[in-house]
Chain A
Amino acid sequence: VSTSIDQQWTTRLRRRVAGKLPPEKLLPDTQPAYVSSWIYVFGVTTMSALAVVIGSGLLLSLRGPQWWHESSIGHFVNSLHLWSVEIFFFAMVVHLWGKFFMGAWRGGRTATWMTGVVTFLASIATAFTGYASQSNFDSQWITTQAKDGINSTGAGAFFNVLNLGQMLMWHIVLLPLAAVVLTALHVLLVRIKGVVPPYEDKVGEAQ
C-alpha cells in the first residue's frame, strides 16, 4: 500500500537515485576482469588534471588578475595553471581516442559518450577564454585574430572576445561551472552504466 510518504517528491527522488546509483556502484570495490589496460588511466588522469587546473586557478584568483604579471610567486602559479591545462588536454584526448576504439558507447552508453564530447568542447572554450584573459601580448594577438572567426558566425555580437571583463568572467565562472557539471554528469553515467565490456570475440573476428 502506497503511503503519502511514498508519494513525496523527496522520497521518490531518493529511491530513484538509490536504485540507479547504489553506493556499491558509486564507489565500487571491484571491477570487471577485462578492465586491464594502461588506457584506463587517462580518464582518472584527466579528472586529476582538472582538479589541479581548478586548484591553481583558485590560487591565481586570490590576488586578482594582475598578480601573475607582478610577482614571481604569481608567475609560478600561472605556470602551474598552464602545465596542468596541457596535461589535462593531453590526457583527455588520449582518453577520447581510447574510448572511441573501445566503442565505449555500446550497451546504452550513448549519453556517456555525448557528455564526454560536450565536456571536451566546453573545455576548449574554457581554455580559449583563459588565453584571451592573459592580459599580455599573446592575448592581444589571440583575441584580435579569434574575433574574426567568432564574428563570422554571428556569435561575436554577443560574445565579444575583445572585452576582457567578459572573457575573464566566462573563464573563471561560467565555463568552469559548465565543465565541472558536465564532468560530474559524465562520471556519474560511467558509474551507473559501468565500463563497456569488450566486443564479443566471435563478432570481432567474424567481421
Chain B
Amino acid sequence: VSSKTFRPDVDAPEWKGGHSPYDIIKEGTIALVVVGLLTIILATLFGSPDDHEITIKNWANAAPTDFAMTAINEMNGTTTTAGYGAPYNTASDGQKLGPLTLAKWAGVRIPINTENDFVIRPLESLPYNAQLSSALSTWKAASPSQQTTWVNNYTTAAAKMTFTNGEVMVSTTNSGPVPVFINDLTSMARSGALDTALVQGGNFFSMDYTKPLLFLSDGGYLAQLAQKQHLLGSQWGMMNETNSYPGQAWLWLYTFWYQVSPFSSSANADVQVWGMMMLLSVILLFVPLIPGLRAIPRKVKIYRLIWREHYRN
C-alpha cells in the first residue's frame, strides 16, 4: 500500500520488524489445562442451581383460587395467551415495530384456543363422571352466545370466589355448566392429571410443553415465585439466575433497554428492544466498514497501552 492511499483505519502497515519464538501448541495446551482446572475449582466451590420445576399440580394446590380464576379467564378470553395473537391465535395483531406487524405476518403456526385446549378438551379426557358428562353435553349443544353469557355471568360472580373443602365456591346463577367445569378442572389440576393432559395432547410421547407453560404463565403463581428469585423483567430478570448464581450476564444490554424509557412503558417493548439489539448487532458486525466508528480505536489510543512495548522500542 503506498503512503498516498494508506487509510489508517482500513489498512495495516506491513510488519518489517523482528519475530520472537512462539509455540502455539504449548500455548493451547497450557490454556486448556488452566481453564479446565479453573472450571473444576469453580464447579466444586459453587456448584450450579437446579430449582425444581413447578407443576400445574403444585400451582393448583398452593393457590387454588389463582388457578381457578386463570381457568375462567382462559374461557372468557382475558388471559395473556387468549388475547395474544400470532403465533397462537388471531385475537390481536400482536406487537408492532412502527407499521410492521412482524408476528402477524409470520402467522398462526402454533394454534391455541385457550377455552378448548386448556379447559374443555382436558375435561373430556377425564374418566366418566355423570355430572361432568352432562355438563359437557349441555355446553356443546349451546349456541356460542349462550356459552358467552354463561362464562360472563360466572366471571362476574368469580370476584368473590373462595376455595373451601376442596371445592371452588362461586355464588352464581345462569352460568350453565361453567361452575362444574371450573371446579372439575381445579380438581383435575390438583390431582396432577391436567399436567399430563396438557403435555401429551393425546400422544404417548411428547417433548413439547407449549400448552402447560402458557397456562402456567397466565396465572399469578409462577410470576410470584419468580419475583422472589429476582427474575422479573423489571428486576433485570433475563440475565439473572435462580438464587445468587451468575446467569446470562452477556444479556445485560438486552435487559438494560427494558429498564429505561420509552421501552419500560411501551406496549411494543419486546419488538422494539429486539429491533434495537438487531440494529446494534449489525453495527457491531460492520464496524470495519463504518467510517467514524472504525476510527474510534485509533483515536482513543488504548492500543498504545496494548502495544506499549512496541512503541517504547
Residues on A close to B: CB < 8 A?
27-37, 39, 41, 44-45, 47-49, 51-52, 56, 68-69, 75-76, 78-84, 86-87, 89, 93, 98, 100-103, 105-110, 113-114, 117-118, 121, 124, 127-128, 131, 134-146, 148-158, 160, 162-166, 168, 196-201, 203-204, 207
Contacts and interface: CB of A to CB of B under 8 A. Distances in A.
A35 B246 CA distance: 33
> Mostly helix, strand, loop or mixed at chain A's interface?
helix
Given A36-B310, A48-B31, A198-B311, A152 B94 contact: yes
A152 B53 contact: no
The 4 closest A-B pairs by CB, nearest first: A107-B12, A165-B207, A105-B288, A154-B106
Given A106-B288, A137-B54, 7 more contacts: A47-B28, A101-B306, A114-B288, A137-B225, A140-B213, A157-B110, A197-B13
Interface in B7-62: 8-15, 17-25, 27-28, 31-32, 34-36, 38-40, 42-44, 46-54
23 contacts: A27-B24, A28-B22, A30-B22, A37-B306, A49-B39, A51-B32, A52-B32, A76-B47, A86-B246, A102-B306, A106-B8, A113-B288, A114-B288, A137-B225, A140-B53, A145-B237, A150-B274, A152-B94, A152-B274, A153-B271, A154-B105, A156-B103, A163-B209
Interface residues of B, number: 106
A160 to B, nearest CB: 6
Nearest to B38: A87
Interface stretch (B136-144, B163-171, B176-184, B293-301): B293-301
B209 to A, nearest CB: 5
B241 interface: yes
Contact of A101 (B25, B97, B302): B302
Given A47-B31, A79-B48, A140-B53, A203 B8 contact: yes
User: Which of A32, A51, A157, A166 counts the most B-chain CB atoms under 10 A from its CB?
Assistant: A157
B28 A199 contact: no
B101 to A, nearest CB: 9
B128 interface: no
A197 B12 contact: yes
Contacts of A131: 247-248
B164 to A, nearest CB: 30
User: Which of A117, A134, A148, A166 counts the most B-chain CB atoms under 10 A from its CB?
Assistant: A148
B307 interface: yes
Interface stretch (B71-79, B115-123, B151-159, B214-222): B214-222
Contacts, number: 288
Interface string B252-284: 000000000000000010110110000001001
Given A28-B22, A157-B86, A160-B210, A204 B226 contact: no
A86 B286 CA distance: 26
B204 interface: no
A84 B41 CA distance: 11
A37 B122 CA distance: 64
B63 interface: no
B21 A30 contact: yes
A39 to B, nearest CB: 5
A127 B42 contact: no
Contacts of A139: 53
A134 B52 CA distance: 10
B294 A33 contact: no
A53 B20 CA distance: 32
Nearest to A197: B15
Contacts of A117: 281, 284-285
Contact of B51 (A41, A87, A136, A152): A136
Given A34-B17, A87-B35, A127 B250 contact: yes
Contacts of A204: 298, 301, 303-304
Interface string B219-241: 00010011001010100011001
A89 B302 contact: no
Nearest to A117: B285
Contact of A34 (B34, B287, B289, B307): B307
Contacts of A76: 43-44, 47
Contacts of A165: 207-208
Nearest to A50: B35
A117 B94 CA distance: 31
A141 B50 contact: no
A207 B301 CA distance: 10
